[in-house]
Amino acid sequence: MNKDLEELLEICRSLIESDFALCGLKEDVEKRIRELYEEWKEAKAKADREGKTIGGLKVIFSDLLRAVECAKEQARKSGKTECYYLRKWLEIPPTSKGGLGYYSKSMWGYEKIEEQ
């Protein structure tokens, strides 16, 4: 496994274990993190070729943290479970608003992000 990906998974580990795993979503969120990592590598390579910079890998951690905090708040307001919202955000593609990864992609300068 790539060193950067290992580091990313390690900094995300506490959120994965304390929130996503309790909902049975550990494998799903790790898969999404890996997908986002691969997309980040492509975006980074493109940015490097164009002499530009993009947000780093820790943006993915921030995206996960935002999802967890939003899930807690939405659950408090609606009476639905945090797991309901975490699952919902994993079901939405990361190119669509509300999908886990949408924030990350916006920080990498993706022009084509779908609006819901």
pLDDT tens digits for 56-81?
888 999 999 999 999 999 999 999 99
Mean pLDDT value across the chain: 89
Scanning the chain, the segments in alpha helix (DSSP H) are: 3-15, 26-49, 58-78, 82-91, 102-107
Tokens representing residue 77 in the block: 């307001």
In the chain, domain spans: 3-107
Residue bearing tokens 């890996």: 34
pLDDT of residue 105: 87
| pTM for the predicted model, two decimal places | 0.85
Question: Residue 110 has what pLDDT?
Answer: 54
